[in-house]
């Protein structure tokens, strides 16, 4: 029998990163909660090494903070940090839209419409996680099509900080407004109007900057 190949170390690190990041975004690891690599490794069924690497990455992204020989914990929700991240994410999505629109295929447009359908349905049924995943799927079409790896990496780094607060303050009414804006964005993309698509994209993401100004009594 052919020997099994070892799972790449980077894959284990990325798996640990995604799992811990999502737990923080969903609030399962609450603001201020201590995180221990040994405990997380046991829960994830991994060794401590990839978990440590994941925590180091999360610290760079502002989701975890550490003091040597003292603690590692989930950061508290800081409105200023969310606003700063949202400004950067908005600018990158606007750029992605402007570049991507001339490159979109009919299949890309159909993928965006399907993602928005899932977004609106999840919003109406109160499935926050599915709504945010569908929202990411919709905008990821433009990010992928623009082909700029720096844009994609910047968005990937800063979006979890925004999603973390958005998860806690998700409002059905504003989400339904977003679904309507999504539809206008998709129409602009279908009409190959890059400037209009960029304008609507900026409007969509600007709204997320405002959630940082809403008091979060649980933080």
pLDDT tens per residue across span 70-108: 889 999 988 888 899 999 999 999 999 999 999 999 999
Last residue of a domain, one of 74, 100, 123: 74
Tokens of 141: 């079409």
Which residue would you say has higher pLDDT here, 6 or 158? 158
> Can you give the pLDDT at residue 1?
40
Residue 3 lies in a domain: no
Q: How many domains does the chain have?
A: 2
Asked if 107 and 21 sit in the same domain, the reply is no
Structural domain of 14:
9-74
Specify the pLDDT at position 213.
Answer: 64
| Average of per-residue pLDDT across 132-154 | 97
Q: Same domain for 61 and 101?
A: no
- % of the chain exceeding 90 in pLDDT: 73
Q: Are residues 126 and 209 in the same domain?
A: yes
Q: Is residue 35 part of a domain?
A: yes
Do both 28 and 90 map to the same domain?
no
Q: How does pLDDT run across 190-208, given as a tens digit for each residue?
A: 999 999 999 999 999 988 7
The predicted pLDDT at position 6 comes to: 63
Does position 176 have pLDDT exceeding 80, yes or no? no
Average pLDDT score over the chain? 90
Domain-embedded: residue 149: yes
Q: Is residue 33 domain-resident? A: yes
Give the per-residue pLDDT at 179.
93
Query: What confidence category does residue 166 fall into, taking pLDDT thresholds of 50, 70 and 90?
Result: confident
Residues 112 and 22 in one domain: no
1-51 pLDDT tens trace? 455 566 566 688 899 999 999 999 999 999 999 999 999 999 999 999 999
Mean pLDDT in residue range 148-177? 88
- Co-location of 146 and 92 in the same domain: yes
Say if residue 43 is in the same domain as residue 94: no
Residues 107 and 55 placed together within one structural domain of the fold: no
87 and 134 part of one domain: yes
| Position 2 in a domain | no
Q: Could you give the percent of the chain with pLDDT greater than 70? A: 90
Can you give the pLDDT at residue 39? 93
pLDDT for the residue 132: 93
Average pLDDT over residues 110-135: 95
Same domain, 29 and 98: no
């Amino acid at each position: 029998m052919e020997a099994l190949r070892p799972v790449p170390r980077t894959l284990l690190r990325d798996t640990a990163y995604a799992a811990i990041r999502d737990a923080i975004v969903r609030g399962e690891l609450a603001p201020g909660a201590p995180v221990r690599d040994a405990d997380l490794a046991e829960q994830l069924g991994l060794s401590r090494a990839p978990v440590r690497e994941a925590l180091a990455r999360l610290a760079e992204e502002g989701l975890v903070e550490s003091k040597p020989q003292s603690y590692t914990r989930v950061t508290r929700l800081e409105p200023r940090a969310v606003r700063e991240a949202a400004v950067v994410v908005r600018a990158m999505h606007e750029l992605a839209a402007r570049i991507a629109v001339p490159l979109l295929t009919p299949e890309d447009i159909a993928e965006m419409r399907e993602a928005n359908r899932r977004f609106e349905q999840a919003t109406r049924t109160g499935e926050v996680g599915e709504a945010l995943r569908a929202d990411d799927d919709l905008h990821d079409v433009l990010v992928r099509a623009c082909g700029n790896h720096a844009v994609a990496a910047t968005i990937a780094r800063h979006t979890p900080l925004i999603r973390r607060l958005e998860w806690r303050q998700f409002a059905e009414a504003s989400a339904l407004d977003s679904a309507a804006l999504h539809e206008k964005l998709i129409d602009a993309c279908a009409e190959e109007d890059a400037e209009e698509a960029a304008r609507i994209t900026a409007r969509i993401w600007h709204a997320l900057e405002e959630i940082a100004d809403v008091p979060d009594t649980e933080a």
